[in-house]
Structure 1
Amino acid sequence: MTDDVVSARSGTPVADMARWLGEYNINGLPVVDADDRVIGVVSATDLKRTQRAAAAGGVLTAGAVMTTPARTVRADDSVVRAARLMSTSGVERLPVVDEEARLVGMVTRRDVLQIFARPDTDIGDEVTDEIVVRALWLGPKSVDVSVTDGVVTLSGHLETSGAVAIAVWMTRQVDGVTGVVNRLTSQHEAPYRQPA
């Protein structure tokens, strides 16, 4: 995300926002209240639609033209969630908020695409280094990791089904991963025995 965000207040005139879009080369901006909580979003399309009305007389403000409620993501949400929300909502950018709905950044479609455009070799290296070696404490050759167009295939044998579940779950969280094919096997969990 970008943490240097141009934002407006409810009373910001449309003319100011239109000027900011050109100055900062952006296509929309969040509208925040006095506590920096996101209360709406104004897009370039919103501004074009209202410029004719503003030309006819009167000063339009962000509060009059913003879209509410604003669709937002939290800073700890996954990139996949942000991408899905952009796709289903038909928006190019999403305000990023903290746990109290205060603006902390902005994520754009371009930001998301750059992550999903990661080379397969980078994704494979991260899965091997961060998950197989560091999280599971295995040798780098213990699990075969292959990546094609963002789809990771995990093959090999792990000691427990829990380790398999962790490997698959963590792999899904890696930036750029679009799917996981699980070909991992495990020994059956040892049965629970009552202590003597």
Structure 2
Amino acid sequence: MKVSEVMTRDVQTVSPDQPVREAASFMLSADAGSIPVTEGERLIGMITDRDIAVRGVAKGHGPDTPVRDLMTDDLVVVRSDDNVEDVATKMSEAQVRRLPVIDEDNRLCGIVSLGDLSRQTDTECATQALEGVTQKGGQHQQ
């Protein structure tokens, strides 16, 4: 099964110039822990609630700080034609619960979450991703 068959297509994004307050507001209303950062259709980063609450606050950044100052730009992405098994492996290795999905032209076309995998695929695939995500250690960047 391809990731394009299970991903969420309607993805809210923020621009790098928006204040982190707006990114946090979206996360609150969508009950999401991260949001892609785009310039046009090009994915340039991700910002997480952890980026804002931990890194931002620890460094003294306020709610009007531009997203670009706190976003993660070292991204792990998947392609829309990747197999869900490969996606589960990437999630596990990167210890993340969601990954941005890009198309053949490197444009953001969706996001795939651990929940998407658990609802739409066999349990072995979701279990593999969950085991890696819940292991201690690693960099939790997106």
Length-normalised TM-score, structure 2? 0.75
Matched AA of 2:93: T
Matched AA of 1:76: D
CA-CA distance at 1:54 after TM superposition: 2.6
State the match for 1:112 in structure 2: 117
State the match for 2:23 in structure 1: 17
CA distance in 2, matches of 1:116, 1:86: 16
State the match for 1:3 in structure 2: 9
Pick one of 45, 49, 53 that aligns with 2:50.
45
Contact in 2 for aligned 1:40/1:70 (Cα 8 Å): yes
Specify the SS of the correspondent of 2:61: helix
Matched AA of 1:107: V
Question: What is the number of residues matched between the two proteins?
Answer: 118
1:92 aligns with 2:97: yes
Residues 121-160 of structure 1 mapped to structure 2, 5 A cutoff: none
Contact in 2 for aligned 1:95/1:107 (Cα 8 Å): yes
Matched AA of 2:61: A
RMSD between superposed Cα atoms in Å: 2.0
Which consecutive unaligned segments of at least 5 residues does structure 2 have? 1-6, 129-142
Pick one of 73, 84, 90 that aligns with 1:79.
84
CA-CA distance at 1:116 after TM superposition: 2.7
State the match for 1:138 in structure 2: none
CA-CA distance at 1:9 after TM superposition: 0.8
State the match for 2:37 in structure 1: 31
Larger Rg belongs to: 1
Contact in 2 for aligned 1:74/1:96 (Cα 8 Å): yes
Q: In the TM superposition, what whole-angstrom CA distance separates every residue of 1:15-61 from its partner, at most 9, and x where no partner exists?
A: 11111101111110111112x11111111111112145234xx8311
Specify the SS of the correspondent of 1:54: coil
- Going by fraction, where is strand more abundant, 1 or 2? 1
Contact in 2 for aligned 1:38/1:70 (Cα 8 Å): no
Matched AA of 2:69: A
1:54 aligns with 2:61: yes
Higher relative contact order (CA closer than 8 Å, sequence separation 6+):
2
